[in-house]
Amino acid sequence: MPNFTVKRYGLDTSGRALWMTVYMHNWWEAVVKDLGFRPTIVQGAFMVRDGGGAAASAGYHDQAGCFDVRTWDLTASQLGQLVRTCRKHGAAAWRRDQSAAHGGMDPHCHITLGTDRPLSAGAAASWRSYLNGHNGLANEAPDYEWRPKPLVTKPPAKPAPKLPGLVRDAVLATRKAKRQTQRVPQPKRFKALSRALDILRGIKLP
């Protein structure tokens, strides 16, 4: 189950507490791992706990799901990679800057993780805008960023961990013994189970 517990994760660039849910923090760490570099968060979520967010944010950051990332220290390639990686991981992400098409605001990348909870009304509207192919701004113009096809609307599931070799062999041997239970004489059943137990005995726990 997603963990929507709100925790503090250090400070943002203005010295304010950086709040987000455990769910969003884990999501962000997966994004950073794929990026290979760590962008700087300039405004987090739950900004009501810090007295409110930036005026230009219009309350989007009051609850879960939204944060802004610094872009002036990223190359054009890194910024494009950031947007694409966030979107591949199931979030909306837009570069914002002084141009009218990009919001007419200080440069940053705005990120909305629509599966986080609870979203503010603004964050929920931003997410709907993304789902509908728009730019997340008041004018609801077409999305100007790269879009995955099909659209990724939730974080990808983590792959199942691979069992160590000996554990895998023991599991397979146990399954084989179970299949043989009703089909083979008692001596062979005993031999198959013994094989599974021998493998398990050979496993050294850390």
Domain ranges of the chain: 6-131, 165-201
Helix H or strand E encompassing 103: none
Q: CA 117, CA 47: separation in Å to the nearest integer? A: 14
Q: Is 107 helix (H, G, I), strand (E, B) or coil?
A: coil
What is the predicted pLDDT for the residue at 50?
A: 81
| C-beta separation of 128 from 151 below 8 A | no
How distant, in Å, are the alpha carbons of 4, 22, 54, 178, 201 from that of 51? 21, 21, 10, 62, 59
What is the predicted pLDDT for the residue at 167?
A: 64
**Structure-token pair, residue 111:** 């990120």
Q: What is the pLDDT along the chain (206 residues), one digit of tens a residue?
A: 899 999 999 999 999 999 999 999 999 999 999 999 999 999 999 998 887 655 545 578 899 999 999 999 999 999 999 999 999 999 999 999 999 999 999 999 999 999 999 999 999 999 999 999 999 999 999 999 999 999 999 999 877 666 566 566 666 766 776 666 556 555 565 666 667 666 666 655 44
- Please name the fold of domain 6-131: Muramoyl-pentapeptide Carboxypeptidase; domain 2 (3.30.1380)
**Structure-token pair, residue 36:** 């290979």
